């Protein structure tokens, strides 16, 4: 049995922890606790709840309005790990500046970043987006088509990236990529970057934008990108989607062939 005196001595320590890490506790509460409660109450997954909100509030065919509706849901109802409006601006600006014709997204989730990119792509461009979770993919498919993008512009590929990347050339007719948005599980960033290199899918000037490299973080990926000599690399410092108080960053890599 812990004596009351020892238990009391822990209270200031616990309070300090709570105050210092309050943003992370709040994130945990919104992303995990609220989700579990709502899952039990509604019997449907969080992503489906978000989609039902979007379908009843957003204007079909208006990608920007669909994005705003997702943001409203995430700020006021439940947390989703979309790229969000703040980091979305960095992604949108890069797509706009580089005008890529062949784009790959790893980690589609509900299709938020997919439609954000698709709306600024140049004419004739094609976006391949890869999602391994069939439930998320089914929602993303509906969101992408609700925004008005057809299969010639956005192709959703269902499966794990490690199985899809080696077949992008033979099964999907991709020769080279101009832009890659990495936003799947962070532990796969380095493996998939090296897979893209091995498959000869990168070319001089290919941009790779990797989300969440500071939170939750992708240290091995960053270290490799900075030290292997194949990339010019900079980190855009920003904050976590829908949480201004938590610092995060997006790594922008530009592929340069080794001499």
Candidate list 69, 94, 117, 161; residue touching ligand SAM; CB under 6 A: 161
- Residue in the structure block whose two tokens are 């990495």: 182
- Nearer to ligand SAM by Cβ, of 222 and 250: the residue is 250
Q: How many residues interact with ligand SAM (rule CB under 6 A)?
A: 20
Say which DSSP state 197 is in.
H
Q: Does 196 contact ligand SAM by CB under 6 A?
A: no
Q: Does 133 contact ligand SAM by CB under 6 A?
A: yes
- Nearer to ligand SAM by Cβ, of 161 and 206: the residue is 161
Closest alpha carbon to 34 in 49, 20, 19: 49
| Per-residue CA distances from 122 to 43, 103, 119, 193 (Å) | 41, 11, 9, 25
Closest separation in Å from C-beta 144 to ligand SAM:
11
Residue 247's DSSP bridge partners are 239
- Residues annotated as catalytic (active site), given as ranges: 183, 186, 211-212, 241
Q: Does 252 contact ligand SAM by CB under 6 A?
A: no
Asked if 209 contacts 252 with a C-beta cutoff of 8 angstroms, the reply is yes
Q: What is the distance between the alpha carbons of residues 186 and 221, in angstroms, rounded to a whole number?
A: 9
Q: With H, G, I as helix, E, B as strand and everything else as coil, classify residue 180.
A: strand
Q: Does 69 contact ligand SAM by CB under 6 A?
A: no
Closest separation in Å from C-beta 77 to ligand SAM:
17
> Which residues bind to ligand SAM, rule: CB under 6 A?
81-83, 106-107, 109-110, 112-113, 130-133, 136, 160-161, 183-185, 188
């Amino acid at each position: 049995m812990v004596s009351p005196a020892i238990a009391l001595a822990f209270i200031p320590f616990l309070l300090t922890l709570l105050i210092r890490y309050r943003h992370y506790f709040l994130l945990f509460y919104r992303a995990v606790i609220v989700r579990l409660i709502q899952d039990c109450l509604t019997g449907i997954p969080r992503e489906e709840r978000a989609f039902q909100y979007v379908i009843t509030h957003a204007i079909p065919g208006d990608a920007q309005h669909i994005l705003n509706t997702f943001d409203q849901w995430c700020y006021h109802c439940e947390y989703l790990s979309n790229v969000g409006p703040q980091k979305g601006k960095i992604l949108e600006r890069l797509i706009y500046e580089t005008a890529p014709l062949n784009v790959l997204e790893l980690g589609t989730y509900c299709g938020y970043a997919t439609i954000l990119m698709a709306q600024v792509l140049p004419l004739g461009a094609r976006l391949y987006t890869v999602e391994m979770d069939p439930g998320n993919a089914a929602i993303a498919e509906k969101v992408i088509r609700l925004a008005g993008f057809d299969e010639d512009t956005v192709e959703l590929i269902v499966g794990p990236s490690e199985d899809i990347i080696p077949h992008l050339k033979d099964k999907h007719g991709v020769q080279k990529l101009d832009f890659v948005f990495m936003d799947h599980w962070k532990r796969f960033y380095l493996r998939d970057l090296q897979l893209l290199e091995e498959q000869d899918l990168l070319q001089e000037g290919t941009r790779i934008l990797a989300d969440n490299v500071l939170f939750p973080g992708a240290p091995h990926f960053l270290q490799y990108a900075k030290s292997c000599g194949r990339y010019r690399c900079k980190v855009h410092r920003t904050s976590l989607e829908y949480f201004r108080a938590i610092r995060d960053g997006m790594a922008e890599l530009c592929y340069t062939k080794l001499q």
